[in-house]
Amino acid sequence: MFVVVARNFPPDIGGIQSLMGGLSESLVDHGPVRVFTYDHPKSDLYDKKSSISIERVKGIKLFKKYRKANLVNEYMESSSNIRALIADHWKSLELIKIQNLKKTKTFCLLH
């Protein structure tokens, strides 16, 4: 199981969005992928077509940040088979509990 934490994810358009989407789709060949990201207009259509499990966080920006971190922390504490946590930016990792980060390999693509 791979956990991907992203601020931006397809169908949003951009370089980091394409990178995170492509990486997540490629990781499916090596195990299940669970993505935690912010909501985007028309993301329902993308999510239905995707082979990965995507959890979108909606709401006010300040609250979304904390809600996403809580969802990731809860998921990591309840799952023991996580092979790696991959984040798009350090801001996606700043609220993840240290003990969750220490128990699995963690990759941050942007500093």
Reported as a single tens digit per residue, the pLDDT across 12-57 is 989 999 999 999 999 999 999 999 999 998 899 999 999 899 999 9
Structure confidence at residue 22 (pLDDT): 94
pLDDT recorded at residue 42: 86
pLDDT at 92 over 80: yes
Run of H or E residues at 93: helix 90-93
The set of residues, in sequence order, having a beta carbon less than 8 Å from that of 1 and lying 6+ positions away, is 31, 32, 33, 34, 79, 81, 82, 83
CA distance 90 to 62: 16
CATH code for the domain defined by 2-108 = 3.40.50
Residue 93 pLDDT greater than 90, yes or no: yes
Look at residues 2, 37, 41, 43 and name the one whose alpha carbon lies nearest to residue 23. 2
Share of the chain above pLDDT 90, in %: 86
- Spatial strand order of the sheet with 2-5 comes to 53-57, 33-38, 2-5, 84-87, 105-108
Higher pLDDT, 80 or 101: 101
Single-letter code of the amino acid located at 25 = E
